[in-house]
A = this chain, B = another copy of it.
């Protein structure tokens, strides 16, 4: 199967600020040529004359099923307040809730141009099922909370169910999602890390999301969350750390030393009044920074195209200079650096010969985009979900001309609403 994308403005994310007009040939899901003009027969030709072609977005931190709780308890004053409203709801969730809300989550990811996400949520075998049906990739995690006993129980009882759901599908990987230092003991981190090591997977965690988290950790353990996690051995495995807001210079050294990626979650950090991650400084230390939406209950969307805009604006105003984090930097975080964080950069994250064809085509022929002037700025500052025309995952279309091809949108909405009403009655 050969697909030829013709005459696109290609932003390959291989070189700083590079874009050019050209064609992309995809052969059996793999990018086989990227050139100014390709004269080769193809089974399908996509006219992209008015489109910007980008690697599709990598959402490096989310909780897909939390679409259930979208705009629920938005009056919370901070993260801890909000979690105290959310945790009791989560205790009531059953498999079908997770499955249906994951379907809706997949629909929202695809609709906004994303084909891979790093998720942290319960009963993830249901999420795997939904993601397989949606035809995208899932970096799923076995969540870990509480203590060592609980961790062992999860490894024996729930992880196998997720692994069984994944099977030998290379569009998935099962990581360890250790919630945070305020919900998991150091022993829990150690056990999760050991389990990750055996399996060649990654460790996903929340890190220094609030000042309170840091203060409490210092009080309880006499060290920062980053230092505490390091001491458990959990940064000796490949890891990515969501939020990473309150990092001292020493904490940044820890991330750098262990090659831990930070994940920037601007909307959630703003909405929960958590704070502003020092992205320019973290990047300046040579730490890889990815981007994620967090869950739809603290965002309140799963849209990377929206997240880039908000994330860029927030850095500019907090640094009081636009050059601290440029549109190219933001696009990197949302594509190739996200792929790096998840260990997928050999396969996806840029438009390069040999990589798998995860590509998004953004329509510039719309009233919010014209005239384009600067394609990088246009994507970051002007584009929205409606401009996401076509999305390919491993060469297969999952969205085409604005329509979702792999998720029944109406059904996903109806079923999720049904489940949520039922949850509220439980």
A146 at the interface (CB under 8 A from B): no
- List which A49-87 residues lie within 8 A (CB) of chain B: 67-72, 74-78
| Contact residues in B for A373 (Cβ distance below 8 Å) | 69-72, 74
Q: Is the CB of B368 within 8 A of A111?
A: yes
Given A70-B373, A271-B313, A416-B370; A382-B75 close (CB under 8 Å): no
Tell me the bound Cα distance from A69 to B111 in angstroms. 28
| Contact residues in B for A326 (Cβ distance below 8 Å) | 75
| Contact residues in B for A322 (Cβ distance below 8 Å) | 74-77, 271-273
Q: Is the CB of B382 within 8 A of A384?
A: no
Q: Is the CB of B317 within 8 A of A71?
A: no
- When all copies of this chain in the complex are counted, the total is 2
Tell me the bound Cα distance from A317 to B319 in angstroms. 14
A20 at the interface (CB under 8 A from B): no
A385 at the interface (CB under 8 A from B): yes
Q: Is the CB of B413 within 8 A of A366?
A: yes
Segment touching B, from A113-121, A295-303, A351-359: A295-303
A270 at the interface (CB under 8 A from B): yes
| Contact residues in B for A124 (Cβ distance below 8 Å) | none
Q: Is the CB of B417 within 8 A of A370?
A: yes
Considering only CB atoms, which chain B residue lies closest to A76 in the complex?
A: B322
Tell me the bound Cα distance from A231 to B350 in angstroms. 58
Q: Least Cβ distance of A17 to chain B in Å? A: 10
| Contact residues in B for A384 (Cβ distance below 8 Å) | 301, 303, 306, 384-386
Given A76-B322, A367-B108; A381-B317 close (CB under 8 Å): no
A104 at the interface (CB under 8 A from B): yes
Q: Is the CB of A313 within 8 A of B310?
A: yes
| Contact residues in B for A317 (Cβ distance below 8 Å) | 269-270, 273-276, 314
Q: Is the CB of A74 within 8 A of B111?
A: no
A139 at the interface (CB under 8 A from B): no
- List which A392-421 residues lie within 8 A (CB) of chain B: 409-410, 412-413, 416-417, 420-421
A168 at the interface (CB under 8 A from B): no
Tell me the bound Cα distance from A416 to B369 in angstroms. 11
A316 at the interface (CB under 8 A from B): yes
A342 at the interface (CB under 8 A from B): no
Considering only CB atoms, which chain B residue lies closest to A319 in the complex?
A: B273
**Which residue of the partner chain, among B271, B300, B365, B367, contacts A316 with CB atoms under 8 Å?**
B271
A107 at the interface (CB under 8 A from B): yes
| Contact residues in B for A316 (Cβ distance below 8 Å) | 270-271, 273
| Contact residues in B for A74 (Cβ distance below 8 Å) | 322, 327, 373-374, 377, 381
Tell me the bound Cα distance from A96 to B295 in angstroms. 47
Tell me the bound Cα distance from A102 to B214 in angstroms. 51
A180 at the interface (CB under 8 A from B): no
Q: Least Cβ distance of A88 to chain B in Å? A: 16
| Contact residues in B for A412 (Cβ distance below 8 Å) | 367
| Contact residues in B for A303 (Cβ distance below 8 Å) | 368, 384
Q: Is the CB of A70 within 8 A of B273?
A: no
Q: Is the CB of A320 within 8 A of B273?
A: yes
Considering only CB atoms, which chain B residue lies closest to A386 in the complex?
A: B386
Q: Is the CB of A77 within 8 A of B381?
A: no
Considering only CB atoms, which chain B residue lies closest to A407 in the complex?
A: B367
Q: Is the CB of B321 within 8 A of A77?
A: yes
| Contact residues in B for A362 (Cβ distance below 8 Å) | none
A323 at the interface (CB under 8 A from B): yes
Q: Which 9 A-B pairs have the closest CB atoms?
A: A270-B313, A270-B317, A71-B377, A300-B381, A74-B377, A71-B373, A72-B373, A386-B386, A107-B367
- A interface with B by C-beta (< 8 Å): 67-72, 74-78, 104, 107-108, 111-112, 266-267, 269-276, 296, 299-303, 306, 309-310, 313-314, 316-317, 319-323, 326-327, 365-374, 377-378, 381-382, 384-386, 409-410, 412-413, 416-417, 420-421
A-B contact pairs, 26 of them (CB 8 A): A68-B371, A70-B370, A70-B372, A71-B372, A71-B373, A71-B374, A71-B378, A72-B373, A74-B322, A111-B367, A267-B313, A270-B316, A271-B381, A273-B319, A275-B320, A296-B382, A300-B381, A300-B382, A301-B381, A303-B384, A310-B310, A313-B314, A314-B314, A371-B416, A384-B384, A385-B386
